[in-house]
A and B are shown apart, each in its own frame.
Chain A
Amino acid sequence: MTPLQLHLVRVFLKIFLRDRQSIFFSLFFPALLMIALGFANSGDAGKIRLAIANQSEGAVAQRFIDSMQTDTMFEVTLGDESSLRRGVVEGDYRLLLVLPPEFDVSQTAVTTTDLRLVVDAAQVRELGMLMPLLEQKLLDIEREFRDMSPLFSLAIEDVQARSQSYLAFLLPGIMAFTLMQLAIAGSGFNIVEYRRKGILKRLFVTPIKPSDFITAIVLARMTIVLVQLTVLLLFAVFALGVELVGNYATLYLIITAGTFIFLCLGFCLGSIAKTQQSIMAIGNLVIFPQVFLSGVFFPIDSMPAIIQPIATMLPLSYVATAMREIANNGASLLDIAPSLIGISVWFVVAFVLAIRLFVWKEVAN
């Protein structure tokens, strides 16, 4: 780095750091999001909320309810059918199990009792998952009362065996999303602001080279974003107790590359947009689809098949996927090779575009 670039980086660092308000808000929102998600999923995370309307007086029904209540996988609420039904509609319970009056087992009878399951049709996918669990429960009880020992025993274990909270799953996504926003705003919005004030024009009549200017802003902004993300990460780990299994050096390599990509894309947007309003509009056009399509909050697998290939190729998808693989599954660089290739391609594309589009004479005027 040349002394001039170094000097410029120092000046831009000063400028960015003295803007306390925007630094505060850039950390405030993601931290708030994490706290909210942390609370929403603490404690009973993963428990299936089950409502049971017991219309039977029999011992078997009572035995079944006891058994469900002691099971850590379920959170059982008892009540009458009509009010619990409403609860299902309102989303308070995942499903309602109605035990009919004739629900009992006599040692001799071979009639089958029908239990009714009331579920929201939208949750029909979960039903497939839950049915075997319930059937297994009923079978156990039936055997107990009929005094039969099972021929086979299939032990069902908690599928969340890795004991990972939703927040731990979400953290890399939130970080990737935050770095995208900070980087695009950091470079793109600044360019438009400097043009509006005539600063770009003033700089252009000095012998500064565009590459020196871009390098200085990118490096200074990169430093700030890395510090901001580190604060978020420390907050998540120490204040919210999130456990990350991956290698931090690898994680930061991806973060740095991602920040570079979005800073360059921000430069492109800032060069195209002429006014503060248009940079907001164009910025949102780039940011919003990525929020929804990049698997930050919803997995890409759950999207329509037509969108999936496009969604996978978005820069934020590569960055978020790589970060999640590293942070949650301890993936090595080799494991995330496909994401790395995507990140590298975007790295080059974004940089070349930024240099091409930032024609000082045109951007300044």
Chain B
Amino acid sequence: MAIIEVDALTKRYPLPSGKGGTFLAVNGISLRIRAGEIYGILGPNGTGKTTTLEMLEGLTDIDSGTARIDGIDVKADPYAVKKIIGVQLQANEYFDSVSLTELLELFAALYNRRIDPLELLDRVNLRDKANAKPASLSGGQKQRFSIACALVNEPKVLFLDEPTTGLDPQAKHNLWDLVRELNHDGMTIVLTTHNMEEAETLCGRIAIMDHGEIVAEDSPQALIMKYAPEPPRAPLHGDIEDVFLALTGHALRD
């Protein structure tokens, strides 16, 4: 059953030149995302991935078309949608001088909930940083903390905007494990990425966007069979990332 239904979603932005005129950031896309899947939106920078996500999250106005999450129209009732989604944005800075525990309590309060911050920090492997300030975290830790913040309301759908951009391989694999774990517990996860490996190994289905349109949508395997110019050759000795990980180990370096 589709938990996210998107029909002819469109967003226009004024041209940066300021001389009037608009360009289509998202050009009438339609999507069905099933409950309990990991869905990836793939594409080069500036193709409308983030804009699409922001329209679903209620951050950006929908110019035309509709988006429904768990049956709720995003345009008509953004507050009801916000209550059932969790969001990790590309920017992950928080208030200075407030500890992780205090921030999690704050986010829970925004949903009118009480949570055990330590339990949540356990889930993202950050218990020992409970009293640390966000600014002191490494890139991978920041991303995991952002996900912890997005989990305070036990969302039905979790949106991740380029969650592994800028992370080292250890942190990246660790984050994928976390995403799989959350998905295993039944959470629907929608993420954007331009990391091919992430799309291929993590996502159940992917949509490839270009110039504001979806140019292909299917499972990674099906897409490879259909579009890859020749059957993928299995590299004899793995790739350079396997070398990197073999030499530097799988342990997190945060």
A residues bordering B, Cβ < 8 Å? 3-4, 7-8, 11, 14-15, 18-19, 194, 197-199, 201-208, 361, 364-365
Contact status B98-A198, CB under 8 Å = no
Which A residue sits closest to B109, measured CB to CB? A7
User: Can you report 24 A-B residue pairs in the complex whose CB atoms are below 8 A from each other?
Assistant: A3-B112, A4-B110, A8-B109, A11-B106, A14-B97, A14-B98, A14-B102, A15-B95, A15-B96, A19-B96, A197-B94, A201-B59, A202-B89, A202-B94, A202-B149, A203-B110, A205-B59, A206-B107, A206-B111, A207-B79, A207-B111, A208-B110, A361-B60, A365-B60
Residue count of chain B within 8 Å CB distance of chain A: 30
Contact status A205-B94, CB under 8 Å = no
Interface 0/1 of B65-92, CB less than 8 Å to A: 0000000000000010011010101111
Interface of A is mostly: helix
Tell me whether A15 and B110 are in contact in the complex, defined as CB-CB below 8 angstroms, given that A201-B59, A205-B57 are known contacts: no
Give the chain B neighbours of A208 by CB distance below 8 A.
110
Give the chain A neighbours of B83 by CB distance below 8 A.
207
Give the chain B neighbours of A365 by CB distance below 8 A.
59-60
The minimal Cβ–Cβ distance linking B74 to chain A, given in whole angstroms, is: 12
Which A residue sits closest to B92, measured CB to CB? A198
B139 in contact (CB, < 8 A):
no
Determine which residue in B83, B92, B106 has the highest number of CB atoms from chain A within 10 A of its CB, and name it.
B106
Tell me whether A198 and B89 are in contact in the complex, defined as CB-CB below 8 angstroms, given that A14-B102, A207-B111, A208-B110 are known contacts: yes
Give the chain A neighbours of B217 by CB distance below 8 A.
none
A129 and B62 CA atoms in complex are apart in Å by 73
B93 in contact (CB, < 8 A):
yes
Contact status A201-B96, CB under 8 Å = no
B198 in contact (CB, < 8 A):
no
B204 in contact (CB, < 8 A):
no
Give the chain B neighbours of A19 by CB distance below 8 A.
96-97
The minimal Cβ–Cβ distance linking A23 to chain B, given in whole angstroms, is: 12
Give the chain B neighbours of A204 by CB distance below 8 A.
58-59
Contact status A361-B109, CB under 8 Å = no
